[in-house]
């Protein structure tokens, strides 16, 4: 099972990007939405993003085997409970594009584009975001990763 778009990626992040829909004020829900908007705007640097799967928080253990992400990732990238500590929150989502190869063969364009993009910290994320940015390159601080999704 894959997506019916020319390019698609799965992402997993330790940064709270819950899509709350709140667009006014300065509440926690607004800041969660801001992080999701930042993700969409960053994808927008490369392409017009197509939201394939909204961020879902903490798909753990046996539940992950029922998720669309698990079914669509290859064996090499399948997650198991032991890979993610249960005390760390994370979010999984999928984005697509109408253009082939826009994200790079191994998502290198996404990694280059997302590295050091500012985020709102101190939400539901359980990692310390110091500095408060997406990290894709520093092996000690990586907090977002992308995986090419198969085509349908």
> For 110-140, how does the pLDDT look when each residue is reduced to its tens digit (9 = 90+)?
999 999 999 999 999 988 899 999 999 988 8
Task: Give the pLDDT mean for 84-106.
Answer: 88
How many angstroms from the chain centroid is the CA of residue 125?
A: 13
Task: Give the pLDDT mean for 103-107.
Answer: 92
144 vs 152: CA distance, rounded Å: 25
Residue 76 pLDDT greater than 50, yes or no: no
Look up residue 125 and give its two tokens.
């994320």
User: Given pLDDT bands bounded at 50, 70 and 90, which one contains residue 58?
Assistant: confident
User: Given pLDDT bands bounded at 50, 70 and 90, which one contains residue 77?
Assistant: very low
What SS3 string covers the chain? CCECCCEEEEEEECCCCCCCCCCCCCCHHHHHHHHHHHHHHHHHHHCCCEEEEEEEECCCHHHHHHCHHHHHCCHHHCCCHHHCCCCCCCEEEEEEECCCCCCCCCCHHHHHHHCCCECCCCCCCCCCCCCCECCCCCCCCCCEEEEECCEC
Task: Give the pLDDT mean for 73-96.
Answer: 67
Give the pLDDT score at 74.
Answer: 47
Residue 79 pLDDT greater than 50, yes or no: no
Give the pLDDT score at 65.
Answer: 53
């Amino acid at each position: 099972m894959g997506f019916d778009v020319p390019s698609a990626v799965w992402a997993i992040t330790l940064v709270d990007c819950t899509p709350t829909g709140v667009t006014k004020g300065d509440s926690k829900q607004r800041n969660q939405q801001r992080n999701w908007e930042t993700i969409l705007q960053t994808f927008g640097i490369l392409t017009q993003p197509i939201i394939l799967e909204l961020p879902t928080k903490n798909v753990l253990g046996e539940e992950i085997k029922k998720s669309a992400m698990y079914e669509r990732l290859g064996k090499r990238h399948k997650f198991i409970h032991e890979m993610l500590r249960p005390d760390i929150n994370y979010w999984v989502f999928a984005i697509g594009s109408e253009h082939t190869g826009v994200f790079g063969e191994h998502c290198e364009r996404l990694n280059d584009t997302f590295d050091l993009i500012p985020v709102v910290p101190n939400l539901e994320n359980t990692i310390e975001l110091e500095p408060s940015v997406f990290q894709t390159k520093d092996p000690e601080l990586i907090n977002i990763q992308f995986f090419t999704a198969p085509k349908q």
